[in-house]
């Protein structure tokens, strides 16, 4: 069995390097021949690489790719359909409007087997819930809490869904006031400047909810430069499980990082494996993310930071090899040796 993953980033990008690492470990354990082709963030080069793959790799069974935008994804699906190459999209959630244009997997595109994507709405909700409840426990006598939201760009599906999760959470906590929600475009510098601006106007906020750990780190810098104490004066959290953010949780500066979605690299291979041997359907799958907090950081931080998945028996997650409904993919993180 042979798979190719079109990595959307050059080597050296932290998140996608972690995706590649867990995929290589899963492939080795399941005896899958995996090739990782590294693309460029430029969409034209991404499409050019896909065309090269279908023309030069006649024996490949599955092509694994991510959704960049509707134009690129439609061209990819057209290409794979033309060359009769089975494909699975993962780690990026399509919007309802995009599904209306493309149809569901194996509807208009027979060789598009499915989509495995993180539940970004759930991630945004969990981040808000953890931050609010931590702050409420810390300051039980405060009648009202203030929250600053730092979002991604306004057209990005993960950014839209994570913001939706935040708004859903705020409806359950009426004593939390949303001071501002500012799209910071995923950029460190933008999140830093936006946090500075809010602090100058409001002196302080109780909670900073950031749609990524990178922006949470930027808010942390701004908080410290304003003479406030993170983890005390302001409670900060983000999404992605970045090693730098996890290190600051150990220092009691950042309070929450929600993540684990890089583990979909293993999950998509296991799904392809089961489809190959028992035609197990893939369809539309949403996977869960989990919070790292001061309460559980000692149990799992090493497993996340080390990136060593050699101790994981990936066959335990295969329907074909176990005959059972596979475990939730994020359990992979709890099966590695400390």
Other Cβ atoms less than 10 A from the Cβ of 234: the count is 26
| Per-residue confidence (pLDDT) for residue 216, from 0 to 100 | 98
Identify whether the C-beta of residue 134 lies closer than 8 Å to the C-beta of residue 255.
yes
The whole-model pTM stands at 0.85
pLDDT tens-digit map of 107-125: 999 999 999 999 999 999 9
Between residues 203 and 237, the one the model is more confident about = 237
Angle between helices 213-225 and 188-202 (to 10 degrees): 40
| Per-residue confidence (pLDDT) for residue 66, from 0 to 100 | 92
Mean pLDDT of 316-331: 72
Q: Quick one: DSSP state of residue 335?
A: S
pLDDT tens-digit map of 140-177: 999 999 999 999 988 888 899 999 999 999 999 999 99
Other Cβ atoms less than 10 A from the Cβ of 330: the count is 18
Q: Which of 81-90, 186-195, 295-304 has the lowest mean pLDDT?
A: 295-304
At residue 268, what are phi and psi to the nearest 5 degrees? Answer: -70, -35
Identify whether the C-beta of residue 164 lies closer than 8 Å to the C-beta of residue 152.
no
pLDDT of 330 over the 80 cut: no
pLDDT tens-digit map of 11-42: 888 788 889 999 999 999 999 999 999 987 78
Identify whether the C-beta of residue 198 lies closer than 8 Å to the C-beta of residue 157.
no
Between residues 68 and 132, the one the model is more confident about = 132
At residue 39, what are phi and psi to the nearest 5 degrees? Answer: -95, -165
Band of pLDDT at residue 329, cut at 50, 70 and 90: low
Which SS3 state, helix, strand or coil, does residue 88 take? strand
Alpha-carbon gap, residue 260 to 173, rounded angstroms: 26
Band of pLDDT at residue 137, cut at 50, 70 and 90: very high
Burial of 141 per CB tally in 10 Å (0-12, 13-18, 19+): exposed
Identify whether the C-beta of residue 61 lies closer than 8 Å to the C-beta of residue 3.
yes
Give me the percent of the chain exceeding a pLDDT of 70.
94
Query: Whose CA is closest to 155, among 71, 242, 266?
Result: 71
Alpha-carbon gap, residue 310 to 312, rounded angstroms: 6
Query: Whose CA is closest to 265, among 13, 8, 50, 26?
Result: 26
Band of pLDDT at residue 305, cut at 50, 70 and 90: low
Alpha-carbon gap, residue 242 to 160, rounded angstroms: 21
Alpha-carbon gap, residue 89 to 172, rounded angstroms: 33
Band of pLDDT at residue 327, cut at 50, 70 and 90: low
Compute CA 164 distance to the chain's CA centroid, rounded to the nearest angstrom: 15
Mean pLDDT of 328-336: 53
Element (H, E) at 199: helix 188-202
pLDDT tens-digit map of 45-100: 899 999 999 999 989 999 999 998 899 999 999 999 999 999 999 988 888 899 99
Angle between helices 297-306 and 243-250 (to 10 degrees): 150
pLDDT of 331 over the 70 cut: no
């Amino acid at each position: 069995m042979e798979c190719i993953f079109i990595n959307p980033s050059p080597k050296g990008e932290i998140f996608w390097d972690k995706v590649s690492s867990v995929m290589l470990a899963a492939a080795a354990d399941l005896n899958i021949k995996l090739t990782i082709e590294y693309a460029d963030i430029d969409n034209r080069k991404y499409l050019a690489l896909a065309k090269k793959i279908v023309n030069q790799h006649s024996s490949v069974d599955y092509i694994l790719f991510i959704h960049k935008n509707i134009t690129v994804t439609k061209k990819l699906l057209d290409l794979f359909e033309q060359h009769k190459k089975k494909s699975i999209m993962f780690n990026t959630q399509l919007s309802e409007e995009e599904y209306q244009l493309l149809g569901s997997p194996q509807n208009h595109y027979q060789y598009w087997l499915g989509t495995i994507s993180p539940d970004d709405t759930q991630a945004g909700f969990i981040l808000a819930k953890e931050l609010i409840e931590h702050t409420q426990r810390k300051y039980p006598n405060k009648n009202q809490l203030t929250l600053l939201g730092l979002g991604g760009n306004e057209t990005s599906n993960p950014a839209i869904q994570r913001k939706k999760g935040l708004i859903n959470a705020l409806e359950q906590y009426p004593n939390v006031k949303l001071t501002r929600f500012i799209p910071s475009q995923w950029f460190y510098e933008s999140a830093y400047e936006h946090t500075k601006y809010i602090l100058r106007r409001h002196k302080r906020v109780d909670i900073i909810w950031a749609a990524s750990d990178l922006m949470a780190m930027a808010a942390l810098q701004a908080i410290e430069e304003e003479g406030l104490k993170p983890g005390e004066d302001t409670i900060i959290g983000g999404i992605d499980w970045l090693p730098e953010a996890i290190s600051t949780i150990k220092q009691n500066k950042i309070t929450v990082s929600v993540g684990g979605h890089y583990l979909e690299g293993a999950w998509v291979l296991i799904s392809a494996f089961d489809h190959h041997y028992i035609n197990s359907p893939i369809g539309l799958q949403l996977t869960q993310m989990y919070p790292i907090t001061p309460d559980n950081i000692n149990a799992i931080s090493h497993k996340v930071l080390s990136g060593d998945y050699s101790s994981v028996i990936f066959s335990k997650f295969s329907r074909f090899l176990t005959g059972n409904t596979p475990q939730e993919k994020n359990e992979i993180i709890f099966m590695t040796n400390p």
